[in-house]
Every structure is written in structure tokens, then in C-alpha cells.
Homo-oligomer: A and B are copies of this chain.
Amino acid sequence: MNLTGRHLIDPNDFTIEELKRVIDLGLEIYRNPSNYASLCKGKILGTLFYEPSTRTRLSFESAMLRMGGSVLGFSDSSTSSVSKGETIADTIRVLDGYADVLVMRHPREGAPKLASEFSSVPVVNGGDGGHQHPTQTLADLITIKNYRGEIANLKVAFCGDLLFGRTVHSLLKTLSRFPNVSFVLISPEQLKIPSHLRDEIILNNNVEIIETQSLEDHISDIDILYMTRIQRERFFNEEEYIKLKDSYILYREKLTKAKDDLLILHPLPRVNEINRDVDADSRAKYFEQAKLGVYARMALMALILGVIE
């Protein structure tokens, strides 16, 4: 297995073995960070954020800096001149001369894929529209691996906006490729997962998918609860937003019936879908998830840069 020079645009770009390699290396770095503090000395990460994303951008930057590398880029295309009528193909053919690995966030689905076709250095998708967010999936997987020991034999619930949430789509697709993982998909009728995604999951993974509107009916039975925000900007009108935004809020009292080793995850930022009283519960791991995401990104970059193995 050699990941040197590889792009990561869609979680399906990597085999299960390759994903495991990234996760395992990430946990190894997490446990012994000082062994890796100079791994990327002389390497430059280029952050091409055509849409602001503080968390994802800074997680990548921290990952590169913690390996002794450095960072350049832009955090908002409106304050850069990349939009001066230039195509993505041209932009990439310039910027791949400035950096050794590129991460791109773009409001348009498919933009990072296009970039990867013109780039002489590895390109990582930092989120494209409602499409994919593969390194959030790596953050999710490394957290599951860290707290559960393996990514297998799990009943995983997703709760909230399952129609538009790219983090949900990326993780669902990916988990469906791991052994014996079943799903409980909890959402309002209007925000169920797209049917093409449901079909793909069933094809990968011949286990039960439950689609339901009730969190309470399933809370006692699940191993992982993945909460998501219902993003205001995804709604077509304000009225619908107000009606649905408070659905599926997790309060600590709802957890009394949950398993002791339940993992509560969230891609963050949260608004109010997880009440603050849940934070003190030892099963709440969403802040650890954000921290572990840095290590998953370190492992990913080290491997595609070819500075390890």
C-alpha cells in the first residue's frame, strides 16, 4: 500500500485498508507526537478556501505546523484575486508550484475533483458544497477507533439534517464499507438521506437500515449517536427553518436510557441541537473528535506527501 501522491476527494478514493492506515498512523502520532514533530520540515501546505471554514482550515494548518511544515493560502476568495475570471485549472497550475500539498474548500460540488486533475501535487477535498467532506470522515473514524478499539460491529445513529449534510453523507458511505455496521437514520421526513445514497449503502452493506423520525425509540440500542446541525442556509424559507430547527435536540435526560459506552459525536459547530448539559456527560466526545481530527489530517498529509513509510 502506497499513498504517496494520492488525492483524497471522496472517501471512496481510499480502500478500507488505506483508510485504516491513515487512522492507525493518526492514533500513533496522537500518542507520540514528539516523534513526528519534524516529519514535514520543508513541506508547504497550501490552503485554498473559496469559502470560509475556520475549523477545517485551522485543523489542517495545525496538523502541518505540528509536523514542522509550513502553510500558505487564502481563507476567503473574496479577499483574494483568484476570482479574477481565472479557471480553477489555471489557478491550480500556478499554485501547485507554491506548495507541496493543497487542501481546497469550494462552494461548488466537484471543484476539488477538477483541481486534482490539473495538480502536480496531492489535492485534498476540504468540503465541496453539499457533496463530500472526507477529512471530517477521517476525524469521525479516528474518534470511533480511539474509543471503541475497532470500526466494526456497530449500530450507528445519525440524527438531524440527513438530506443536505455532507459530513453525514461522507461518513455514512464510508462506514457502510466496514464490517457489520448498521444504521438508524433519524430525521424529519423532509430531511431524509437522498435515495441514491440509501441505495449505495444497501449495496455495500447488507444489513438493516432503519429510517425513523424518533430519537427516543432507538436511544437505548445504539453504539454511536452522530448529531448534526440543521443549517439555516440549507432551508428554502425562514418559516420551514423555524419549524424544524428545534427538532431532535439532545438533552442529557434523554441519555438515561442510553448505553454506558455510547459515543456522542458531532461535526461542529453546534447551535442548540446538543444541549449544553450534555457536555458534562462522559459519553459526549465531540470536542475530542475535533482534536483527534488534527491527528487524522497529520497522518493523511504525511502519507500522501510520502514522508513516511
Q: Which residues of A contact B (CB under 8 A)?
A: 37, 42, 44, 46, 52-55, 58-59, 61-62, 65-66, 68, 70-76, 78-82, 84-86, 90-91, 93-95, 97-99, 232, 268-271, 287, 290-291, 294
CB distance from A207 to the nearest CB of B (A): 33
Contacts of A44 in B (CB 8 A): 62, 65-66
Whether B75 contacts A80 by the Cβ 8 Å rule is yes
Shortest 5 CB-CB distances between A and B: which pairs? A97-B291, A86-B269, A62-B98, A76-B79, A54-B80
CB distance from A29 to the nearest CB of B (A): 14
Q: Which residue of the partner chain B has the closest CB to A99? A: B62
Whether A70 contacts B75 by the Cβ 8 Å rule is no
Give the interface SS of chain A, mostly helix, strand, loop or mixed. mixed
Among B53, B62, B80, contact of A52 (Cβ-Cβ < 8 Å):
B80
Listed by A's residue number, 18 A-B pairs whose Cβ atoms lie within 8 Å are A44-B65, A44-B66, A46-B58, A52-B80, A54-B74, A54-B80, A59-B98, A71-B72, A75-B79, A75-B80, A79-B79, A81-B269, A85-B232, A86-B269, A93-B287, A94-B290, A97-B287, A97-B291
Whether A79 contacts B94 by the Cβ 8 Å rule is no
